[in-house]
A and B are shown apart, each in its own frame.
Chain A
């Protein structure tokens, strides 16, 4: 019962470096989401995907790119990391073929940009 798996769990980057966060789900969910969580701000949607090969912008997409080449994987990329991107990143997936389904979250990636 893996559910939603995020890698890596922790990462420290220097300003200007690039990296990719991986989210994998084994529940055959159609929808996948990337959020960032900052103190006092709740969860803010960065990008999301409604199916393989599709992506869309959320509330705070600037500075991030995403790809969903396979249904089970959703990648979040930072091309040139900035200190303002220091945050905890959560991935979630959701079954849409049935109504009123919850989002299932991964354990998060804690990212620090120095």
Chain B
């Protein structure tokens, strides 16, 4: 079952913050986050494991709420380079590394 991402799209000014959510109806083992720029391959950002662990990557961080089966990606003080489409990929227990991806959130950062 495909996870649901929200919002579908967001427009920011440079320096503003944004939150992207990823929700699943199934119990999850981990959540992966990727960013894809137009015409390019998805690029890995980070993995969140069950247990509410929060991780960071430059000014991008994420959390995983195991009770709600929801992960949130936090982008602070956004830069032009953050523009792209963000995907979450959810992994269930005993699925190996197989991921089910959300539909994506398109982020545009304007000067």
A, B in one complex: yes
Residue positions of A touching B, CB distance < 8 A: 31, 33, 35, 40-45, 48, 50, 58-59, 90, 94, 96, 100-108
The size class of the interface chain B forms with chain A is 20 to 34
Total of A-B residue pairs, C-beta within 8 Å = 50
Residue in B41, B97, B102, B103 whose beta carbon sits within 8 Å of that of A105 in the complex: B41
Known: A40-B104, A50-B96, A105-B41. 7 other contacts (CB 8 A): A42-B104, A43-B87, A48-B98, A90-B42, A94-B97, A103-B44, A105-B42
A-B CB proximity, top 8 nearest: A102-B44, A105-B41, A43-B101, A42-B103, A42-B101, A94-B97, A105-B42, A107-B41
Complex Cα–Cα for A42 and B36 (A): 11
Given contacts A59-B100, A100-B30, contact A42 B87 (CB under 8 A): yes
Given contacts A90-B42, A108-B41, contact A102 B47 (CB under 8 A): yes
- Is residue B99 contacting chain A, with contact meaning CB distance below 8 A? yes
Residue positions of B touching A, CB distance < 8 A: 2, 30, 32, 40-44, 47, 49, 87, 89, 96-104
A13 to chain B, nearest CB (A): 21
Complex Cα–Cα for A94 and B99 (A): 11
Complex Cα–Cα for A48 and B100 (A): 12
